[in-house]
Amino acid sequence: MDTSTLTIESTRSAIAEKQITATGVVEEFYRKIKADDGDIHAYLTLCEDRALQQARHIDDLAAKGGTLPPLAGVPVAIKDVMVTKGLRTTAGSKILEHFIPPYDCTAVARLEGAGAIVLGKTNCDEFAMGSSNENSAYGPVRNPRDKSRVPGGSSGGSAAAVAAGTALAALGSDTGGSIRQPASFCGVVGLMPTYGRVSRYGLIAFASSLDHIGPLTRTVQDAAIILRTIAGRDPLDSTSANVPVPDYVEEMSKPVKGLRLGIPKEYFGEGLDGETRSAVEGAIEQLRAAGCEIVPISLPHTPYAIPTYYVIATAEASANLARFDGVRYGYRSAHAHTLSEMYRKSRDEGFGAEVKRRIMLGTYALSSGYYDAYYLKAQRVRTLLTRDFEQAFQKVDAIVTPTTPTPAFKLGEKADDPLAMYLADIYTVTADLAGIPGISVPCGQTKSGLPIGLQVLGKHFDESTVLRVAGAVSLKSRT
């Protein structure tokens, strides 16, 4: 069985037609994981018993000749910031090294309910805080396209698993670019839905007003199928939106001819790698040839996105991570003699350097005397950034940009320079701040073979147009 050619639909169809079995698919993927993942380190925890039990269930349905669920037999990986009942969930942190959740994340439950098979939990930057997957307490992930380079972060394990062929699809989370940036670095598709489109119930929170769950896949159509499955109102998440979910696969069949695509000048300035610019501009010309109208636009508050993001995100992280105190669950220091000492030592020993840095930055921004100067001002700038997009979308149907300013960088290259690391997300944080959907789709590669990603951004809850444009780029890049 050649797992590298499988798609969601081909897997489901082959199982339905009894050409393969779900059990055989799972066993083949585990063989590949055991053979290849030692060098990549995309997975933190595997769950063979759970996977095989689901596979046998799918095979029983196929044997009866009934209609199979939409993701029947599809092997998926789950970023380790989404809780899974009875399966270790660490968030890439020592503080949750032995945590076994009592319930499933809604997105995971919806995948399994649709017939998908969870292979395991993927490595990530600790509490999703990072752009390289070097911040994991369990060691870095390596990029399958060049193992001397990072896969991107924080969903680096999920992107690497899909790129390496050790999962057919994966779930990631995106707070400042953590689905789209690793998708670009690894040469896969990464979709961040509109804030509220997918339930966050069971997602270990980093920054609650910025966190999104979305798929990483080999094809744009597979991303559409996964989104169709996990999207929709969830009564367990008060921030999930009660907005109808279209059939994204059907929407993708519509032509892109006549769409107006905005090209923001702020995303093509200083700092953009030459080969990346060339590949993205080539994809834009392909879209023009497909009948799209290319419209120059401006998003004038873009230069303020990184500082705005790192005030808001760290402030929310400071509040969210206060729950890890050594009392209720997670790591507890064995060297404490008083309650206050237990709090301090448990957090000091359990959290990594980047998480501590962000907690301290966020606590400072929220502290008395500084709240108005930092957090409140950042929220006001966030409103200005959102208005930039709202005004642009009065003129265009979608916006096209590079996903990242450079291809994947070397492991360790930016580890000692937090600001340089933060700037790797310069083109992605804006969409999280505005709550709009975005996707990264491969559009070429460098002379040395490193993938380059094109980003498509859309109006709130208009993932359909985003997927249509990305699908057109994907079709062109394969011809």
Q: Whose CA is closest to 422, among 402, 404, 435?
A: 404
CA gap 58, 49 in Å, rounded: 14
Q: Is 477 a catalytic residue?
A: no
Report CA-CA distances (Å) from 21 to 13, 16, 184: 11, 9, 32
Q: Is the bond preceding residue 154 a cis peptide, omega within 30 degrees?
A: yes
Place of tokens 């760290």: 314
**H or E element, residue 295:** strand 293-297
Helix (H, G, I), strand (E, B) or coil at 438: strand
Full strand arrangement of the beta sheet holding 189-192: 43-46, 117-122, 75-79, 169-174, 212-217, 189-192, 438-445, 451-458, 398-402, 260-264, 293-297
Q: Is 333 a catalytic residue?
A: no
Our CA angle for 328, 207, 150, nearest 5°, is 100
Contact 437, 194 (CB under 8 A): yes
Place of tokens 């996707």: 439
CA gap 342, 334 in Å, rounded: 8
Q: Whose CA is closest to 287, among 420, 160, 445, 475?
A: 475
Q: Is 368 a catalytic residue?
A: no
List helix spans (H) across 245-302. Answer: 248-252, 274-289
Q: Which residue among the candidates 93, 158, 178, 464 is catalytic per the annotation?
A: 178
Buried b (16+ CB within 10 A) or exposed e, 243-256: eebbebbebbeeeb
Q: Which residue among the candidates 132, 154, 346, 440 is catalytic per the annotation?
A: 154
Question: Which amino acid would we find at residue 423?
Answer: L
Q: Which residues are catalytic?
A: 79, 154, 178
